[in-house]
A and B are shown apart, each in its own frame.
Chain A
Amino acid sequence: DGGITQSPKYLFRKEGQNVTLSCEQNLNHDAMYWYRQDPGQGLRLIYYSQIVNDFQKGDIAEGYSVSREKKESFPLTVTSAQKNPTAFYLCASSMTRPYGYTFGSGTRLTVV
């Protein structure tokens, strides 16, 4: 079955460490996105990529980095520069507009 996989589901890291969240899709979608969600809040866009080897900053890119070397993969690195990294991170992919997004099941990151 086609889908989008985020791993791990839960992640714990010590303050000051970089951590990379995985996102893989086998839907043959060109576009991929990373969102952050805090408790009781909506989704905020971190980075997005419309094609391999290209990506753009979203509204809250500071302290995060991404790469898009393969169509299927869009990993997100949360760096030590991110001041408040504890959150629920969601990855999504999409066919060409206007079609809808497919979301992964999320990674809950806790920094202690």
Chain B
Amino acid sequence: DAKTTQPNSMESNEEEPVHLPCNHSTISGTDYIHWYRQLPSQGPEYVIHGLTSNVNNRMASLAIAEDRKSSTLILHRATLRDAAVYYCILRDVNPNRDDKIIFGKGTRLHILP
């Protein structure tokens, strides 16, 4: 199973952009990149996903490197409510492979007021 690597923690100031990196050097051609975030004592919440092109939605943007070995989740203007653990995972769309997703420890994002 392809794995991802993220920094354990990051800090950012409120109202500034945040760039959360993720390395996935063993990504396969059929792996989609997904991001989730988890607030304390809650289930993770889907944020965004993409394959090759950069993606935007109301929550965030996803920038994917040309070789797809890394990606960055961008929060354009951080608020205190964005303080959470952010997980970067890979989901393989190949129907011949198990749909078994591995979550790492994620990045704990601290927002400073």
Contact = CB atoms under 8 A, between A and B. Distances in A.
Interface of A: 31, 33, 35, 40-45, 48, 50, 56, 58-59, 88, 90, 92, 94, 97-106, 108
Q: Classify chain B's interface size.
A: 20 to 34
B112 interface: no
B104 interface: yes
Interface stretch (B10-18, B20-28, B45-53, B63-71): B45-53
A100 B49 contact: yes
A98 B91 contact: yes
A97 to B, nearest CB: 4
Nearest to A104: B43
B42 A105 contact: yes
A90 B103 CA distance: 13
B110 to A, nearest CB: 15
B93 A98 contact: yes
Q: Output the residue of A43, A45, A59 with the most chain B CB within 10 A.
A: A43
B103 A43 contact: yes
